[in-house]
A and B are shown apart, each in its own frame.
Chain A
Amino acid sequence: MAEPVLAVDNLATHFFTRDGVVKSVDGVSFTVAPGEVLGLVGESGSGKSVTGFSIMGLIDPPGRIVSGSIRLKGEELVGRTEAEMRAVRGRSLAMIFQDPMMTLNPVLRIDTQMMEAVQAHEKVSDKAARDRAVQALAQVGIPSPEERLSAYPHQFSGGMRQRVAIAIALIHRPALIIADEPTTALDVTIQSQILAEVQKLCAESGTALVWITHDLAVVAGLADRVAVMYAGRIVEQGLVDHVLDRPLHPYTHGLIGSVPGEAMPGKRLMQIPGSTPSLGRLPPGCAFEPRCSRAVETCRAGAPPLAQGSQGRAYRCINPVPAEEAA
């Protein structure tokens, strides 16, 4: 296997708040191969965004990466200075955010916001930067990019704005893009268009993707591999087909069961009882134990160890879902 673009190893990012330490990310490991699409799924508050921001080096106090390693193309990012991180951000590592209404500065024209992205990393003339911006807009399917460039964000629809953000992210052909639920705020038809677009563009430029979402249907259509996050940990990961066809962790199983259409017709849609635990007060054993239908006595004793299989398959569960139930 080729050297991974991104290797996250045992990452822990904690927030030191007045009410105590919030362990938003606690021992997360995964890798992304060049050009690969990794789906990062999990409920709200499971630590997906914090993982993404940790990789970007955008964790602000009271938060801090307390341990672990993040290597981009073999180079360690944890412990770098702000100036060193700035040279990486936007160039070999880019990010797209959830709400396109908020990610573009409302009082700056699109050309300003695109040209500054070019010029942050390359000493080129305004003219050259502008040309690059036009190309990038055309690439993401914005009609008459030349004219649209001097518009303000509010003159664009949500889908168009997200395209602009994607164009900005792609402008330096980064090795990796972290996309934090970039289609959640858009309506369904636009969602699938943008999904297809991003998939195509990344494939063309060989850019790897970490696609954060809580929508398993999106993961099924887009990702090569999937990592399922729960309460700051990855509880299961592997190739998309393997994980979706044969989930081993009861949480993954529950997630799949709660997707309409994935469930068998006539079978009741499954609901995971309870809600995400408070990250300040996790149970000593498996974090999912209070909500788990398969919990046994030993689950409460200590954190379940990581069980590893072939092709990157891994899960953390003492009493995994048996094959006959998984289907």
Chain B
Amino acid sequence: MLAFVIRRLAQAFFVVVAMVVLVFFGTYVIGDPVWMMVPGDATQEQVEEVRRTFGFDQPVYMQFLTFLGDVLRGEFGRSYVHGSSAIGLILDRMPATLELALAALVLAIVIGLPLGLFAGLKPDHPASRGIMAVSILGFSLPTFWVGLMLIMLFSVMLGWLPATGRGPTMVILGIETSLFSLEGWRHLFLPALNLALLKISLVIRLTRSGAREASLQDYVKFARAKGLSPRRIIGVHILKNIMIPIVTVLGLEFGSLVAFSVVTETIFAWPGMGKLLLEAIQRLDRPLIVGYVMVVVLLFVTINLIVDILYSALDPRVRLTGSQS
């Protein structure tokens, strides 16, 4: 187990290094950030001045080495635009994004699991066909369009929920969160639902096919032959088996929730990392972009590790060993 974790961390380290190198040179190729930083009427003199200050006059490999040196000293660079630590800026915004992604994940399970279970256990019921049709819509409608429709319906027409921004936050255990007030939830619901849409469809499909397959297994027939109630058979025998793929897939999808939140955060003006990234890209704010990538890759790796551990906890046939890759 320990060997497994160490191996995973080593892998993660190389992934982070590779991603950082790629993104660093990638943003270098895209454009010269100087033009974003100087006023439109700046003289050549002023431009060169800024170049020197930020080290853009150096060849790219020198810039990279300087960057590496900074990293080794625990300094990940300052945002060109904000002037403060890039990682600091990202970490400030991270709770908002994680909160959004987590809420979306919970919605995906709370809505997707019962619907999928129903569709899987009663495949011929008309409601099951309806559920599957909705899940196809969920897969095919573009997120931003659904987001706009949600705002139109619930905020503009019905006026039930606020359209933008995050509700009042408070600091709980050092993390800023809006989960502990009704107003916070009112702000969170629409963006979370919007972000969850794709995952709800995914959970419905996974649960349905899992339940269908499991209900045909001999162990279900044997459980029935023991005289168990349908509730116990579905709630324990079937659910415990289908939770394995669902937890695995959803865990891995959590990373993509964080990544996809860029779109949702933009539509709902949610003050998270995604919105920050979009602004950083528009302004070629390289330290911020590189920092974002590092944070997200680390997040992915951590999630994968947790999923692997959870997976082995759920499926007794899998035991994590050092030799497993």
The reply on B174 being an interface residue by CB < 8 A is no
- Shortest CB distance B59–A (Å): 58
With A103-B218, A105-B241, A152-B317: A120-B236 Cβ-Cβ less than 8 Å: no
A residues 269-293 in Cβ contact with B at 8 Å: none
Question: Contact at A89–B226, with CB atoms within 8 Å?
Answer: yes
Q: Please tell me if the beta carbons of A120 and B237 are within 8 angstroms of each other in the complex.
A: no
Instruction: Give the nearest-CB partner of B229 in chain A.
Output: A86
Asked whether, in the complex, the Cβ of A107 is within 8 Å of the Cβ of B222, the reply is no
Task: Compute how far the CA of A201 lies from the CA of B226 in the bound complex, rounded to whole angstroms.
Answer: 19
Contact A107 B316 (CB under 8 A): yes
B315 close to A87 (CB less than 8 A) = no
**B225 touching A107, Cβ below 8 Å:** no
Q: Which of A90-98, A260-268, A308-316 contacts B (4 or more CB under 8 A)?
A: A90-98
User: Which residues from A are CB-within-8-Å of B229?
Assistant: 86, 120
Q: Is the CB of B222 within 8 A of A106?
A: no
Q: B219 near A103 (CB under 8 angstroms)?
A: yes
B222, B225, B232 interface centre (most CB from chain A within 10 Å): B225
Determine whether the beta carbon of A87 is less than 8 Å from that of B227: yes
In the bound assembly, the distance between CA atoms of A322 and B232 in angstroms comes to 56
Give CA–CA (A91, B219) in the complex, Å: 18
From 223 to 250 in chain B, residues with beta carbon under 8 angstroms from any chain A beta carbon are 223-229, 232, 236-237, 240-241, 244
* A 74-104 contacts with B by CB, 8 A: 86-91, 94-95, 97, 99, 102-104
Instruction: Tell me whether A97 and B222 are in contact in the complex, defined as CB-CB below 8 angstroms, given that A107-B240, A108-B236, A108-B240 are known contacts.
Output: yes
- How far does the alpha carbon of A316 sit from the alpha carbon of B61 in the complex, in Å? 93
Is residue A58 within 8 Å, beta carbon to beta carbon, of the partner chain?
A: yes
Q: A105 is contacted by which of B223, B227, B314 (Cβ under 8 Å)?
A: B223
Interface residues on B, range: 20 to 34
Residue of B nearest to A89 (CB): B227
**A255 surroundings in chain B (CB, below 8 A):** none
**Complex Cα–Cα for A95 and B317 (A):** 26
Which of B218, B225, B237, B314 contacts A90 (CB under 8 A)? B225
Docked pose: A89 CA to B225 CA in angstroms? 6
Q: Which of A89, A104, A120, A154 contacts B317 (CB 8 A)?
A: A154
A101 to B236 alpha-carbon distance, docked (Å): 19
Q: Which residues of B contact A87 (CB under 8 A)?
A: 227
Interface residue A56 (Cβ < 8 Å from any Cβ of B): yes
On whether the beta carbons of B222 and A121 are closer than 8 Å, the reply is no
Cβ of B218 to closest chain A Cβ, rounded Å: 4
Inter-chain contacts of B227 with A (CB < 8 A):
86-91, 117, 120-121
Within the complex, which residue of A56, A104, A108, A154 is in contact with B225, where a contact is CB–CB below 8 Å?
Answer: A56
Given known A-B contacts A107-B315, A108-B237, A152-B316, A117 and B218 have beta carbons under 8 A apart: no
User: Is B125 in contact with chain A by the CB < 8 A criterion?
Assistant: no
Q: Given the complex, which residues of A lie within 8 Å of B224, measured CB to CB? A: 58, 89
Which residues on B sit within 8 Å (CB–CB) of A108? 236-237, 240
Q: Would A97 and B221 count as touching, CB distance under 8 A? A: yes
Contact between chains at B219 and A120 (CB < 8 Å):
no
Is there a chain A Cβ closer than 8 Å to B217's Cβ? yes
Chain B residue numbers with a CB within 8 Å of A58 are 221, 224-225
Q: Smallest CB–CB gap between A313 and chain B, Å? A: 32
- Closest chain A residue to B244 by CB distance? A107
Residue pairs across A and B with Cβ atoms less than 8 A apart, 20 shown, are: A58-B224, A86-B227, A89-B226, A89-B227, A90-B227, A90-B228, A91-B227, A97-B218, A99-B218, A102-B217, A103-B218, A105-B223, A107-B244, A109-B316, A112-B236, A116-B226, A117-B226, A117-B228, A120-B228, A154-B316
Query: With A120-B227, A120-B228, A154-B317 given, can you name 20 additional A-B contacts, CB distance below 8 Å?
Result: A58-B221, A89-B224, A89-B225, A89-B227, A90-B225, A90-B226, A95-B225, A97-B218, A97-B222, A103-B218, A105-B219, A106-B315, A106-B316, A108-B236, A116-B226, A116-B228, A116-B232, A120-B226, A121-B227, A165-B222
User: Which residues of B pack against A, CB within 8 Å?
Assistant: 217-219, 221-229, 232, 236-237, 240-241, 244, 314-317
